[in-house]
Structure 1
């Protein structure tokens, strides 16, 4: 038997030539290695054989491993202008209609350039007439040819009234006197307005008396009224346009 001993503070290492003197753990290790070399690659480890047995065993299903993946990040849908309902600011146009009295001035735009044939029947039961001499008065006769009038819009809410038989325009002078003018001029521009009782009033668009309108009017005898004495609420200045067929 041979023995090799190393001293001087190093750990003791020994090797024995006799197999009987070797430790049992070493013998087991050597035996296991020899078995592996003899069997070769055809044999598999006990764990692999166990897995193959379990896999091939009838009635058994191989275990499935489920790997949960986080859901893909989805970006929020784009916000379209059609789906986004934002409050809209109300725009107040500078060209909005100007309110005059209880009526809106722009409500007369449909009359601009319009030509109408009418008879003006006063609240006093007279037809307004303009004769060839330029006289303005009232008549009870429905067949009086001088009562046939043509009303033409010359501006927004402003009209010109012409007698078809006399070819004179209804006019108001600066002093408020009614007369028939041969030619159209500033005196012939009349403001037409629908009153609350559905009658119309006609006031001078050019002249005023102490900042008050002067109106076309007929008294109870069919005589023309001076514009300075007329008022809007006075029924003597109210006329009902009658359609001429």
Structure 2
């Protein structure tokens, strides 16, 4: 059976098992504590690991907490998102079947729906769902749609202070400076070496498709 004692420092348990489980008036609690003691408790907050009673009292579920924690990070390797990249200049980035990169005002334009896949931490590949072409940047900073996925299709994704994302070529730089995906005020792509992180033309909001 279970015998519970209290101390002035707070509640703690003195568990002794004898006989069948049904004889324990706190069977559910006892089994829960056994499960917690026998598991590795990986990822649980240290304060809760040290105080399992507090964990139970607060209704904590470490597996659920870990799952939620993992989903809150968009740069984990293997993560895939369907988004439309909406620029601060109010254009949606698109890649047509000829490989032309452009901006469009049309919210539900098929060529603007992108699959954004994390290929490593903080690095993504961007592919048009309708055309199957990958967003790529040449050595000269020109954006184009690539049939094959290669190192020119990798972009460093960063969340800026204003909440927008920027995408800089992982492979290419211009005189040591990063080259960014950018759409100008007319919705046309700018050469990467002419874009700067602070420019609104390089800022994109990954919007959920509707």
Q: Which has the higher contact order (CA 8 A, sep 6+)?
A: 2
Of 65, 78, 83, which residue of structure 2 is paired with 1:113? 78
Are the aligned partners of 2:122 and 2:158 in contact in 1 as well (CA < 8 Å)?
A: yes
Residue aligning to 2:89: 124
Where do 4+ consecutive residues of structure 1 move more than 4 Å? 107-110
Are the aligned partners of 1:169 and 1:180 in contact in 2 as well (CA < 8 Å)?
A: yes
C-alpha deviations, 1:17-66, integer Å up to 9, x for none? xxxxxxxxxxxxxxxxxxxxxxxxxxxxxxxxxxxxxxxxxxxxxxxxxx
Residue aligning to 1:224: 189
Cα distance in 2 for residues equivalent to 1:184 and 1:234:
28
Are the aligned partners of 1:130 and 1:163 in contact in 2 as well (CA < 8 Å)?
A: yes
Matched residue SS, 2:139 = coil
Are the aligned partners of 2:114 and 2:128 in contact in 1 as well (CA < 8 Å)?
A: yes
C-alpha deviations, 1:75-110, integer Å up to 9, x for none? xxxxxxxxxxxxxxxxxxxxxxxxxxxxxxxx9685
C-alpha deviations, 1:118-152, integer Å up to 9, x for none? 00000000000000000001000012100110000
Larger radius of gyration: 1
- 1:171 equivalent to 2:171? Answer no
Aligned CA-pair RMSD: 1.4
Normalising to structure 1: TM-score of the pair?
A: 0.55
C-alpha deviations, 1:172-209, integer Å up to 9, x for none? 01110000000100110000000000000000000101
Matching of residues 141-220 of structure 1 within 5 Å = 141-220=106-185
More strand by proportion, 1 or 2? 2
Are the aligned partners of 2:75 and 2:122 in contact in 1 as well (CA < 8 Å)?
A: no
Residue aligning to 1:238: 203
Once the 2 structures are TM-superposed, how far is the Cα of residue 111 of structure 1 from its aligned partner? 2.4
How many residue pairs get aligned? The number is 139
Are the aligned partners of 2:165 and 2:204 in contact in 1 as well (CA < 8 Å)?
A: yes
Matched residue SS, 1:228 = helix
Cα distance in 1 for residues equivalent to 2:202 and 2:75:
24
Structure 2: 5+ residue stretches without partners: 1-71
Are the aligned partners of 2:75 and 2:120 in contact in 1 as well (CA < 8 Å)?
A: no
C-alpha spacing 1:110/1:199, structure 2 compared with 1 (3 Å): closer
Are the aligned partners of 2:88 and 2:204 in contact in 1 as well (CA < 8 Å)?
A: yes
